[in-house]
Chains A and B, each alone.
Chain A
């Protein structure tokens, strides 16, 4: 509270003593605009950080592809723990996605009070808060957890172990790891969720499946919303024939059979998660682009856009600073509801055997267990439950976000 130089609102006091001329209370009359015009302006620290991040990312990808070649990207050992990570193309995409998400958090951190306001509104939806917690766990297990866990390993001797606290007829597992009580094989803590026909632990499978699901959902959705936002905002702000051309392209793209394109590519090159993600990412943005466009059209009519324009702001500045942030609620909601669709699609494709068979995705595991439903029901059921819970959680989250971020309710008390 430095500038207590003014008694507000009264029509009587004329000139205030200007505190001796030196800052901290600089007055707008004192600004020398000629020098600022001559200066040209620099870059903000955030933009620099983004440039640095993008540059180092590019270098890392290049070194992995060109230098490391087939060797693991990271192979270090500290203490007794070895840390080996051979990044795939999907992993690199995932790293890029997560970096973008980190930068998306910066405006949130800057506007903590606004975030707190939205959080209070979001918090009213109990199921959504639970869903968010569940999804955070899934996300952390899938991203960080899988770095430190051993991938599920083949162990024919431990096939068909039941989950802990449950039991099956002792004839079903090849060899019961736990105790056999009254002819029934008891589950053990070694395989808390049981094992598959290959003796892979279902808990480990589920966790590695989380990674696949998160990769599919997040990467493809980020690709989609990036394109959708760019196209939608451009169409809305530019208007005229650009708008017309972009939107007609969206019409055409939405009639395009993505599924058959994927079938075709899977037939040519084999099922690949990378191809799946890219195809869903670059073809699935039409609906979101429409939403962004119609919202952006409304936002462009707002007075604050007119205010920025009359202050001399350029078109891109207005789009980036006002239009996009104000349609972000729709983008976030659409993205949240887009993720489960993608996860489900990946699971479906894996289930019918069109995915990468070496990847422990949930769909893959469900498919692997479908022949054993009568005897080892848990093989399909465990990943199925995870899939179900994840889809449900994303839907709860999306609905709650839609309510919490709805700008129409913002004006109220």
Chain B
């Protein structure tokens, strides 16, 4: 993280123009439509979006976890540690999955088999990864459970998944993911099903694991609070495309794309409107219901700042925002937004200035929110 103009090859994970489609009865749905981002060792990148934004499909497309058919990865590069996973064979992918890239899902039951004890499954994962004796593997499994914060691990190791609470199951799922000592952990809404108190424990756990082992963490979430707590960088997705990308400070302090601003505005407790309310009523039409994208910016119909230029062409490219002071001016780590107002002919002030007074109010409110805790 010392060289700002990072060549894409240097990052642990480099995703470029990834496109995933689903062929359904109602037609073809492009769930992920050309997303790009980078992730480094020891870095946490959050894919943020609402349901239907394609964030989960994007995460599962990395190691081709999506069902094919009906899913299909149409194009794009997924370079992981110098190797292109998008063109890798199924056997190569199997070697990467679990071993180098591990997944944690929203629902821990997806990772745990109900008919085997937790220990049995952990042992299997450890022995798959390393050729160790059963006793050693068991000791290591207990260490892993201890590491993910399971109380009395030596006793609980013989429990079956249903004997554990949801939070404990998620911890075990994380332990299973860590068994292969991966370089990248892809966690898809890992705390959504959990209570805030347990969520905060699991987030702290992920952070401590990351600082101890230096793995990369790709966190898929809809919760901007979680993003603010753990992310280094943020990728905001809407309807399969990247709307805004940048460091967590840039995105939260100087949200640029109207969609990001609307998202931040919608957080309960932040009473101040960044977007005029007129944009809100369409907000809850399901974005995934549109089978295929029309032309122009996808956020156009909900956007308070939409102009005629938004109707034309494809989704605008990611333009650098003018105030990206803390990040590099260009390259993968720049603060960019896919909005015409940030393009060469646009005027970012249309978006940012329209609520300038409200904006300052919002930050005042935020600090108040901080005090109130």
Interface residues of A (CB under 8 A from B): 7-12, 124, 413
Q: Tell whether, in the assembled complex, residue B281 and residue A9 are in contact, meaning their CB atoms are under 8 Å apart.
A: yes
The 10 A-B residue pairs with the shortest CB-CB distance, nearest first, are A9-B281, A10-B277, A8-B281, A9-B280, A413-B24, A413-B26, A413-B288, A10-B280, A12-B277, A124-B25
In the complex, B133 has a CB within 8 A of chain A: no
In the complex, B289 has a CB within 8 A of chain A: yes
Shortest CB-to-CB span from A251 to chain B, Å, is 29
In the complex, B272 has a CB within 8 A of chain A: no
Known: A11-B277, A124-B25, A413-B26. 13 other contacts (CB 8 A): A7-B281, A8-B281, A9-B277, A9-B280, A9-B281, A9-B283, A10-B277, A10-B280, A10-B281, A12-B277, A413-B29, A413-B288, A413-B289
Chain A residues near B288 (CB-CB < 8 A): 413
Chain A residues near B280 (CB-CB < 8 A): 9-10
The residue among B24, B277, B288, B289 with the most chain A CB atoms within 10 A of its own CB is: B277
Interface of chain B residues 268 through 317 with chain A (CB within 8 A): 277, 280-281, 283, 288-289
What CA separation (Å) do A26 and B288 show in the bound complex? Answer: 35
What CA separation (Å) do A7 and B283 show in the bound complex? Answer: 14
Write 17 A-B pairs (CB below 8 A) sorted by A numbering: A7-B281, A8-B281, A9-B277, A9-B280, A9-B281, A9-B283, A10-B277, A10-B280, A10-B281, A11-B277, A12-B277, A124-B25, A413-B24, A413-B26, A413-B29, A413-B288, A413-B289
Chain A residues near B281 (CB-CB < 8 A): 7-10
Chain A residues near B283 (CB-CB < 8 A): 9
What CA separation (Å) do A8 and B277 show in the bound complex? Answer: 10
Q: Tell me the count of chain B residues lying within 8 A, CB to CB, of chain A.
A: 10
Chain A residues near B25 (CB-CB < 8 A): 124
What CA separation (Å) do A408 and B30 show in the bound complex? Answer: 24
What CA separation (Å) do A7 and B280 show in the bound complex? Answer: 11
Chain A residue with the shortest CB-CB distance to B291: A413
Shortest CB-to-CB span from B273 to chain A, Å, is 10
Chain B residues near A10 (CB-CB < 8 A): 277, 280-281
Shortest CB-to-CB span from A116 to chain B, Å, is 14
Chain B residues near A7 (CB-CB < 8 A): 281
Chain A residues near B289 (CB-CB < 8 A): 413
Chain B residues near A11 (CB-CB < 8 A): 277
The residue among A9, A12, A413 with the most chain B CB atoms within 10 A of its own CB is: A413
Chain A residues near B26 (CB-CB < 8 A): 413
Shortest CB-to-CB span from B262 to chain A, Å, is 13
What CA separation (Å) do A413 and B23 show in the bound complex? Answer: 11
What CA separation (Å) do A148 and B26 show in the bound complex? Answer: 45
Chain B residues near A413 (CB-CB < 8 A): 24, 26, 29, 288-289
B137-159 CB mask vs A (1 if < 8 Å, else 0) is: 00000000000000000000000
Shortest CB-to-CB span from A384 to chain B, Å, is 38
B14-36 CB mask vs A (1 if < 8 Å, else 0) is: 00000000001110010000000
What CA separation (Å) do A124 and B289 show in the bound complex? Answer: 21
Shortest CB-to-CB span from B265 to chain A, Å, is 13
What CA separation (Å) do A7 and B289 show in the bound complex? Answer: 24
Chain B residue with the shortest CB-CB distance to A121: B25
Shortest CB-to-CB span from B267 to chain A, Å, is 15
What CA separation (Å) do A10 and B278 show in the bound complex? Answer: 8
What CA separation (Å) do A9 and B280 show in the bound complex? Answer: 7
What CA separation (Å) do A9 and B285 show in the bound complex? Answer: 13
Chain A residue with the shortest CB-CB distance to B288: A413
Interface of chain B residues 1 through 56 with chain A (CB within 8 A): 24-26, 29
Shortest CB-to-CB span from B39 to chain A, Å, is 30
What CA separation (Å) do A341 and B370 show in the bound complex? Answer: 71
Shortest CB-to-CB span from A5 to chain B, Å, is 15
Shortest CB-to-CB span from A220 to chain B, Å, is 36
Shortest CB-to-CB span from B25 to chain A, Å, is 7
